Amino acid sequence: MKLKRALGVAVVAVLASGGAAQADYPERSIGMMIPFSAGGGTDVPGRFFAAEMEKILGTDIVVSNVTGAGGTIGATQLSKAKADGYSLGFMPVGTTTTQPHLRKTSYNAESWAPICLVAQGPLYVTVLEDSPIKTVDDLIAKAKSGKVVTGGPPPGSLPHIAQAAVANAYGVKFNYIPHEGINEVAKSMLGGRVDMAIWFGDAKARFGLRPLAILDVERSAEFPDVPTMTELGQPVESFVWFGFFAPAGTPEAIVTKLSDACDKAANSDGFQDNMKKAKRQVRYMPRDEFAAFFKSQYEKNGALLKEAGLVK
């Protein structure tokens, strides 16, 4: 009887200490993994977001860029990390919902505890500012008479799928060259090795890339003279979103605390202003809503990849 009572007291003590640790979270710096290179399309909003989360949580957030294989190297490492709230990730739609279908990764939709959706943005068809390609019609004419080389992130990324969708809509083919990030794509364009890239609106300010069309149903306030693909007769739409994730099994209390902080960070003046200056769109979605959205995106993109013949 005494032994049972002692064991019971020990179990209660352990549970109590665990609850206290979660209540005190965070007690040290937090690591936030971004699965693409510094200065890239995921890194920019990720660092803006981390800066605001630091203020709200009252601790340092150490951002690490773990690149390679369409973001799957970083995501794989994160999925195997200790689920204690100190290893988190800021990841895009491609890494989390398309690459698992393409590469048969060790992680899947069940590997994560989605915390919140942070940002979303439409993609643009872009060329160099001084490119002889002035319109989408020029681009398609070149593709029909010769060869158009496009560049972007690894196969299975949204820019890769989007450029294929544009080519398919017009019945042409583009020669796609994978790059590690937009920095490398811009260098290839400046070197004359790539004609066109599908990217965000900040490509103009950062790399001097001129948008020819937006892959959206409405024109952008930043580029009101740039037509939509729908206006051009081809209703091709493509958005990239970015979410905040923890490994599956992270304690409920910690995920809740991170979710509450995420709400404040995504809606803060600092984050909103930085995103506006970077020509990026904030799209906040709370935890439960994001979890349902993420699951539907995972299933939908898997089906799209099969329809495109990219997955058997």
Per-residue pLDDT, 21: 53
Per-residue pLDDT, 89: 98
Residue 168 CB coordination number (10 Å): 14
Give the model confidence (pLDDT) of 253-274 as tens digits.
Answer: 999 999 999 999 999 999 999 9
User: Which tops the pLDDT comparison, 126 or 237?
Assistant: 126
Q: Which domains does the chain have, with CATH numbers?
A: 22-121+240-307 (3.40.190.150), 124-214 (3.40.190.10)
Per-residue pLDDT, 303: 83
Per-residue pLDDT, 11: 47
Structure tokens at 20: 């206290």
Check pLDDT > 70 for residue 6: no
Question: What average pLDDT does the chain have?
Answer: 90
Per-residue pLDDT, 14: 44
Instruction: Give the contacts of 257 (CB within 8 A, at least 6 positions apart).
Output: 25
Amino acid in position 249 = G
Check pLDDT > 90 for residue 203: no
Give the model confidence (pLDDT) of 39-79 as tens digits.
Answer: 888 999 999 999 999 999 999 999 999 999 889 999 999 99
Report the sign of the C-alpha dihedral through residues 199, 286, 55, 37, in that order: negative
Give the mean pLDDT of 96-120: 95
Give 222's pLDDT tier (boundaries 50, 70, 90): confident
Per-residue pLDDT, 44: 93
Give the mean pLDDT of 200-226: 90
Give 8's pLDDT tier (boundaries 50, 70, 90): low
Instruction: Tell me the percentage of the chain whose pLDDT exceeds 90.
Output: 69
Per-residue pLDDT, 70: 87
Helices (H) and strands (E) in the chain, counts: 12, 11
Among the ranges 97-101, 135-139, 306-310, which has the highest mean pLDDT value?
135-139
Give the model confidence (pLDDT) of 9-37 as tens digits.
Answer: 444 444 444 555 567 999 999 999 999 99
Phi and psi for 119 in degrees, rounded to 5? -150, 160
User: Which tops the pLDDT comparison, 218 or 261?
Assistant: 261
Per-residue pLDDT, 31: 98
Check pLDDT > 70 for residue 209: yes
286 prior amide bond cis, ω within 30: no
User: Which tops the pLDDT comparison, 183 or 112?
Assistant: 112
Q: Can you state the percent helix, strand and coil of the chain, rounding each to 5?
A: 45, 20, 35
Check pLDDT > 90 for residue 160: no
Q: To the nearest 10°, the Cα dihedral for 49, 51, 54, 55? A: -110
